[in-house]
Every structure is written in C-alpha cells, then in structure tokens.
A and B are shown apart, each in its own frame.
Chain A
Amino acid sequence: MRMMSLYKDRNTIVHKIDPLNKILYILASILITMLISDFKVLILTLVVSLLLLLLGKVIKNVFPIISFSLIVLVTIVIIQGLFNPNNKTPLVNIGQFIFYKEGIIYSFLLILRVLNILCAFSLLILTTKPSDLIENLVRRGLSPKLGYVLASVLQIIPQMLSTMDTILDAQRSRGLETEGKLIKRVKAFIPLIGPAVMNSLISTRERAMALEMRGFNSNIKKTFLNEHDETSFDKLIRYLLIALIIFTIVWRLVWLK
C-alpha cells in the first residue's frame, strides 16, 4: 500500500533516534524560540537543527517545506518594515516607501522563529516513518484505537485520490463543465464532492464491520509487531532535552526579573 509521507529512507544515526526524542526536540525549540527573543540564541538553535538535518542527510528536502511559507515570510518583511507600530528610525527609501529599522528587526525575529520551528519539525518528519512514529506513541500509552485512526488516514487518502479521478472522469463524460465562469465552476463542486463523500461513508460501514469481526473493541492488551528496546543513548538524549526545556523556562523567568 502506498503511503503519503515526507519520510526519506536513509541509514543515519538521526534516523535511529527514538521518535519521542525528536518530539521533545521540537518542544524544546518551540519553547526556546517563543520564550527567548535573542538573535544569537535563535541563530544558534537554527544552526543546531540544520546540522542535525545535515547529519540525517535530508537537508535538501527541507527547502520544499520552507517554500510553503516563503511568500508569507517575504510579505512579513514588507508589511512590518512599512507599518510596524513601533517604527521610528528610517532605514531605506524605495520609491515613496520608507522601510523602518524597528519593523525590519521584528520581521527578522519572526522569520527566525518560523525557520526554527520548520526545521525542528522537518527533523521529525523527514527522518521518521509515520507508521513507526504512531507505533512508538501507542507503545507509550496512546490509545491503540487512535493509533489505528492515524495510521488509516495515511492509507485512505491515496485510495480516495484514485476515486477522485474516477468521479472526475465520470462526471465530465456526463457533460459536467469544470471550466468557464465562476458560477459554473461553483455549481460543478457539489456533483464532484457528493459521490466522493457517499463513497467514503459507505466504505466506513464496511470497514467498521471488518474491524469488529477482528476484535477491534476487545479490551485485551494489544501486542506489537516489532520488538523495541530503548537504548541508553536514547535515554541520555531524553534527559538532556528535558533538562534543556527546564533550563529555558527557568532562564526566562529569571531573565524577566
């Protein structure tokens, strides 16, 4: 079964790190970037994330993820540079527009924050197979039913994509117009989404029956397909990350005074 994911299969040490540690890493970098607005700290965490991505041999795959937010990041510089309420010191004039220093600095702060968070998430997404992540979370106490729901989304979407092509072809062959004026295109939406919804709802009925036949609702403790032992290396990383999170919060509290 084809699965949707951004996971890149490489054999590196980053890929072998426990997914929970990567989630803790995301938490730590969000906390650091949100609580501490010091450029040196933000650049340092960004560099650490980039080095880890480099170590995981996935650094090239980060750019498509960043490009999702690229336009907003560019407009942030323009809007904050022109209109930030704290603007006082003019920096450059372009035509009749004046860009101010305060707004530009603020926009760089925002951009660094977003890049930090994107890179931290990328580390999890690019180096962890979604099914491994879900299995790991179930092992640590996530309800197995929710685990099933998460895993099945990844399988259902590719299935629904092929249904979508079928519906589109069928409705077009019946003369449904999918191009032209806006009102025509709006009207075409219901005949397209309607069958897709019906189709998926009817298949949920079959799926529910199939699951109940296999004891989905039984309360007996579930076992796992793969063996899993936590290495001492993973434990070490986890304690370090927890210490880092506590340190950040304490630093912020002290620093505020």
Chain B
Amino acid sequence: MSKKLWSFKFSTAALVLIPAAVGINYIGKLFAGLLKLPLWLDSIGTMLASMLAGPIIGALSGAINNIIYGLTMDPISFVYAITSIAIGITVGVLMFKGLIKNVYLAILSGIIVALVAAVVSTPINIAFWGGQTGNIWGDALFASLMAKKFPMWLASFLDEFVVDLPDKVASLVISFLIYKGLPKSLINLYSSDDEIEKL
C-alpha cells in the first residue's frame, strides 16, 4: 500500500470522491453553524478523502475545496488552499502509515494536523492581515501578546494555533469515527490497488 501512496494514477472512484469530499466539507460547516458549535468543522471531507484514497487525493480535495469557495463565496480562500493541501497530505500520510488506529491516536494526530495547519497559515496571515486570523478569540490573544511585546510571528502562530487546535482535533476524531463506521465495500472502492481499479 505504501508504495502506491504517492501515485498520481487515480481510479475513477477516487476522482469522483473529490467532489463528494468538497460537498462534505461544505455540509459540515453548515451543520456546525446550524448547531451553533464554536468550531468550523469544514475539513471533514478533506480528511475523509485522505483516509480513503491517500494524501494526493486528500490534497486535491483540499485545493479544489478552497478554489470552489473562492469562486463562489470569498476570494480570500484561494490563498488558504495551501493550508488545505497541507491538511490533506498530513492526514493521508498519518493514516497510510497506520498511525490513526483508535480515538486516542486520532486526537494525537489532530494535534499534529493543527500544528501543520498553523505553521502553513501563519505566513499567509502575516502577509495579508498583519498576523491576525479573523477569529475573535484568536485575535484577542494576538492583541494581548502584541501588547506584551511578543515577536509578531510567534503571536500570529499562537493566534492561529489556538483556533486550529480544537477544530482540527474535533474534525479528525469525527472523520475517524465516520471512517470506522463505513462498510468495507465502500472503503475498498477508493484504494488504488490494480484489482479494484476497473469497476
């Protein structure tokens, strides 16, 4: 399996998984808003796509997710495509190395994903917003750290990280629980093994 981890030859099933993943991201965000949860939960589809079909499909789902958001809602999301790509790759690699086996490992992996997302987002935040994220709690922390003369990159990183940490951990745990509940026939559909490639 790990040999095919970085393969660019996709099965049709893996390709049509991408629009579904983008849709799931979108629905996750809407449900989170509907339930007034203090999280975005808008990367569940990307994470599931990575778990099912590997890092490349996950990264593609992330990129296309932000491109479509950019085209249909908020153009700024184009630039954050890099963050979504990083999330897709990280989850895919963690999954296919067998590191997401149970809920505790999923929480740990969620922390890793949040770290990666924050590292990738911070330069973008600094270039576009002078270091802010647009989230009230994160920006309040940013303001207080700036007032205490912390270096801007550190304040900005922490701003992003405190926002990302609960969101990415919750998203990854939810994705993992859904993944565990999927029937085997569906899981096998997306793997890039040759026997299954032809439907």
Contact = CB atoms under 8 A, between A and B. Distances in A.
A6 B130 contact: no
B198 to A, nearest CB: 8
B27 to A, nearest CB: 5
Contacts of B68: 150, 153-154, 157
Interface in A109-138: 110, 113-114, 117-118, 121-122, 125, 130, 133
In which size bucket is the chain A interface?
Answer: 35 or more
Contact of B128 (A78, A82, A110, A197): A110
Contacts of A197: 24, 44, 48, 178
A205 B186 contact: yes
B56 interface: no
Interface stretch (B30-38, B89-97, B104-112): B30-38
B18 to A, nearest CB: 5
B134 A160 contact: no
Given A189-B37, A205-B13, A125 B19 contact: no
B35 A188 contact: yes
Interface stretch (B80-88, B113-121, B146-154): B146-154
A204 B74 contact: no
A204 B20 contact: yes
Interface in A17-32: none
Interface string B53-80: 0000000100010011011111110100
A36 interface: no
A153 B132 contact: no
A188 B35 CA distance: 8
A164 B29 CA distance: 12
B35 A185 contact: yes
Contacts of A224: none
A157 B15 contact: no
Contacts of A49: none
A132 B107 CA distance: 42
Contact of A198 (B26, B60, B152, B182): B182
B23 A216 contact: no
Interface string A170-207: 00000000100010011011101110111011111101
A6 B10 CA distance: 31
- The listed residue with most A CB atoms (<10 A of its CB), out of B70, B71, B143, B177, is B71
B199 interface: yes
A200 B24 contact: yes
B75 A80 contact: no
A237 B189 CA distance: 47
Contacts of A51: none
Nearest to B17: A204
Contacts of B76: 68-69, 114, 117-118
A193 B70 contact: no
Interface of A: 4-6, 34, 65, 68-69, 71-72, 75-76, 78-80, 82-85, 106-107, 110, 113-114, 117-118, 121-122, 125, 130, 133, 145, 148-150, 152-154, 156-157, 159-161, 164, 168, 178, 182, 185-186, 188-190, 192-194, 196-198, 200-205, 207-209, 211-212, 216-217
Interface of B: 10-13, 15-20, 22-24, 26-28, 30-32, 34-38, 41, 44, 48, 60, 64, 67-68, 70-76, 78, 127-130, 132, 134, 139, 142-143, 146-147, 149, 152, 174, 177-178, 181-182, 186, 189, 198-199
